[in-house]
């Protein structure tokens, strides 16, 4: 479930096995019933903030869901959950500390501990994060900023468990709406931190100075640590600038020392231009751990720009490294919208004469909201380019209305998820492809077919003759 993509302090997940299999436990059955889950597999993000039922084999590694995870991972939480001590030997136990950073109503909120087991072999398959037990429904009693609640949970060990593969996940959950407020785990060691932002990290600026909402650093490690906070402005256009505002001063970099569970707050300030877009990256490095533990992007867009490039490639950076320079070489101005920071809307698209939606190898692109925004933009006469290694395959995996969209709106059909040929040639006499030829550097690009009798034409073909690109047009 893509845990390899994140640090231990960034992402937790528990697998509740159904009683129809051999790895269930009473608490797994109880949680499945409590969540009203009837189809398998079902994913519940943050206890139900986002649900997805069913998954294709091609997305079993979880990369398909990274956009969902990333959109919520850096959102500020009113509390931190820390597994401050534990043991699976002797009188096994877990000590959990909840530290408040904002005021909340604790009614219906419970502290829970899950014991999970990794690398669990069963029936020829190795399972990860399998729930072995859920311990405690301890009411949350703290409610105000600065308060702490420490609870000890006894763990009833089972001789069939491999103690070397056990892990504790502690979480605070609102039983009223089943939302998981925050979580922590026993893999977090001496030096760890989380960073969050109280508001959007992508804004429309139109030449003004922008002060982004508070960025918060919380030391969730078990030791005091000094964090070096810096802002990388190398991706800003000429005439743009940015700095960090902390404790009354303006910095490009500053250190802050935090005891366990303490928090520091600062702001990113960007002086923007009148055309294009600018991006800065805030890096937070742990001196104790000797590494960067968080990197956060902040983006501002200005008006008066010709083209909008949508970056939806799961952080690959192609919009900045490839598409932007290519568009700039034509003399057209452009701005880059990072769809991982905020989902683009029809109103965001409206000012631009053309939109380039690039998705790289992302297999989780063009969801229903994305398609609605593009439908409105095209209905108003906008021009659109879709480009990506797996863009058709992503729609095919989504199924239903996603497949109808590329059939009815694009007038093409999905043929295969890999071309078997990386040589691409423009179609003779086509106004886009004629005279162009290139070789892709890698990947497994999609293959499409055209709907006969419709105003749709092939623009590019692979070396084996399969269709690599198409164009269509609408009247009016």
The 10s digit of each residue's pLDDT in 313-326 is 988 889 999 999 99
Lowest mean pLDDT among 4-13, 198-207, 277-286, 359-368: 4-13
On whether the CB atoms of residues 231 and 269 are closer than 8 A, the answer is no
Dmax over Cα atoms in the chain, in whole Å?
78
| 137-159 confidence digits (pLDDT tens) | 999 999 999 899 999 999 999 99
What are the residues whose beta carbons fall under 8 Å from the beta carbon of 429, sequence distance 6 or more? none
pLDDT band per the 50, 70, 90 thresholds, residue 53: low
Predicted confidence (pLDDT) at residue 95 exceeds the cutoff of 90? yes
Integer distance in angstroms from the first to the last C-alpha of the chain? 46
Question: Pairing state of beta strands 383-387 and 354-358?
Answer: parallel
Structure tokens of 310?
């949508």
Predicted confidence (pLDDT) at residue 381 exceeds the cutoff of 70? yes
Distance in angstroms (rounded) separating the CA atoms of residues 440 and 444? 10
On whether the CB atoms of residues 23 and 130 are closer than 8 A, the answer is yes
What are the residues whose beta carbons fall under 8 Å from the beta carbon of 3, sequence distance 6 or more? 11, 13, 62, 128, 129
What confidence score (pLDDT) does residue 119 get? 93
pLDDT band per the 50, 70, 90 thresholds, residue 39: confident
The stretch 150-172 carries a mean pLDDT of: 95
Distance in angstroms (rounded) separating the CA atoms of residues 145 and 372? 41
CA angle 457, 463, 466 (to 5 degrees): 45
Structure tokens of 382?
């906008």
Rounded to two decimals, the pTM is: 0.76
Higher-pLDDT residue of 47 and 166 is 166
User: Homologous superfamily of 193-300 in CATH?
Assistant: Immunoglobulins (2.60.40.10)
The proportion of the chain whose per-residue pLDDT surpasses 70, expressed as a percent, equals 91
What confidence score (pLDDT) does residue 468 get? 97
Nearest to 194 by CA among 203, 204, 184, 180: 184
Q: Does domain 305-472 have CATH number 3.40.190.10?
A: no
Question: Pairing state of beta strands 125-127 and 120-122?
Answer: antiparallel
The stretch 245-258 carries a mean pLDDT of: 98
Our CA dihedral for 460, 461, 466, 472, rounded to 10 degrees, sits at 20
CATH 2.60.40.10 domain range(s) in the chain: 193-300
CATH 3.40.50.880 domain range(s) in the chain: 305-472
């Amino acid at each position: 479930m893509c845990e390899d993509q994140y640090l231990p302090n960034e992402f937790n997940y528990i697998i509740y096995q159904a009683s129809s299999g051999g790895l269930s436990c009473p608490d797994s059955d109880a949680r499945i019933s409590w969540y009203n889950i009837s189809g398998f597999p079902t994913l519940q993000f943050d206890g139900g903030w986002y649900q997805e039922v069913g998954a294709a084999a091609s997305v079993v590694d979880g990369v398909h869901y990274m956009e969902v995870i990333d959109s919520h991972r850096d959102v500020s939480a009113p509390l931190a959950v820390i597994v401050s001590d534990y043991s699976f030997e002797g009188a096994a136990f877990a000590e959990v500390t909840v530290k408040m950073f904002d005021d909340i109503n604790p009614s219906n909120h419970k502290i829970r501990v899950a014991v999970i087991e990794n690398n669990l072999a069963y029936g020829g398959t190795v399972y990860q994060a399998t729930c072995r037990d859920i311990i405690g429904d301890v009411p949350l009693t703290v409610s105000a900023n600065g308060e702490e609640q420490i609870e000890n949970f006894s763990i009833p060990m089972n001789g069939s468990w491999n103690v070397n593969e056990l892990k504790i996940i502690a979480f605070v959950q609102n039983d009223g709406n089943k939302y998981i407020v925050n979580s922590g785990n026993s893999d977090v060691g001496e030096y760890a931190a989380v960073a969050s932002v109280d508001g959007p990290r992508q804004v429309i600026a139109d030449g003004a100075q922008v002060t982004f909402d508070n960025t918060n650093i919380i030391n969730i490690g078990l030791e005091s640590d000094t964090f070096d906070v810096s802002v990388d402005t190398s991706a800003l256009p000429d005439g743009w600038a940015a700095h960090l505002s902390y404790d009354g001063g303006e910095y490009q970099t500053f250190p802050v020392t935090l005891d366990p569970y303490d928090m520091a707050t600062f702001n990113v300030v960007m002086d923007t231009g009148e055309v294009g877009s600018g991006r800065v990256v805030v890096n937070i490095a742990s001196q104790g751990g000797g590494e960067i533990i968080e990197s956060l992007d902040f983006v501002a867009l200005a008006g008066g720009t010709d083209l909008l490039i949508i970056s939806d490639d799961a952080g690959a950076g192609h919009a900045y490294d490839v598409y932007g320079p290519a568009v700039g070489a034509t003399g057209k101005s452009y701005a880059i919208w990072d769809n991982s920071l905020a989902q683009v809307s029809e109103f965001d698209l409206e000012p631009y004469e053309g939109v380039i939606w690039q998705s790289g190898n992302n297999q989780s692109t063009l969801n229903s909201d994305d398609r609605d925004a593009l439908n409105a933009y095209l209905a108003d006469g906008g021009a659109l380019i879709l480009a990506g290694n797996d863009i058709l395959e992503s729609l095919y995996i989504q199924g239903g209305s996603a497949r109808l969209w590329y059939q009815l709106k694009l007038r093409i059909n999905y043929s295969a998820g890999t071309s078997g040929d990386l040589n691409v040639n423009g179609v003779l006499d086509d106004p886009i492809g004629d005279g162009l030829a290139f070789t892709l550097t890698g990947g497994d690009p999609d293959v499409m077919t055209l709907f006969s009798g419709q105003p749709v034409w092939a623009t590019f073909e692979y070396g084996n003759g399969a269709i690599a690109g198409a164009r269509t047009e609408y009247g009016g």
